[in-house]
Chains A and B, each alone.
With several copies, the nearest count.
Chain A
């Protein structure tokens, strides 16, 4: 299990090199900054200390619940220009169902329970904080 919280870009290829050795199925999810409506960047604030603890606890919960061989979570904070990866989760399991479900579960959790807050930056500067979506909260009830 590996959890990384960092401002700098991550090298997905390097992080996944050897990930899930012995497993039959590896699923990754990568979230990127979308340039909707002239968005220039996202500023992502987080709660140092709690972030790492919460990510590790939920990565472990996913590993236990879905019988994962391995799990990886990396999430950036700070100033992230449009097009850049924000975060990635990777799950490794014997079979595809567990790997898919664990990644899906982790993402639903991350969206509304990991202590990150996004602020939109337009061409003229900060626009406002991204509001939590009711859909994201509802998605958690599936698990």
Chain B
């Protein structure tokens, strides 16, 4: 499947782009992270400490175990600091 993968804040800076198209067969968010981290040093650095990374699947907050079946847009970002 084809996913839009978005990055925000320092994840965007480390990856070097706000979004990318990804072709994957990953079944879960966690499997997708493993694939992305294996791509290159930038991805590996951005995704090295997952305790500092949050994820949304189709704009809903999700977990590493969240399945990707039917998903279109995955976003990775640091803990939020709104308000």
Contact = CB atoms under 8 A, between A and B. Distances in A.
Interface residues of A, number: 28
Interface in A92-138: 96, 107, 110-119, 129-132, 137
A2 interface: no
Interface residues of B, number: 17
Nearest to A89: B83
A110 B81 CA distance: 8
A interface SS class: mixed
B78 A31 contact: no
Interface of A: 31, 45-47, 49-50, 53-54, 75, 86-87, 96, 107, 110-119, 129-132, 137
Interface in B1-28: 6, 8-10, 12
A50 B83 contact: no
Contact of B59 (A31, A50, A75, A86): A50
A56 to B, nearest CB: 12
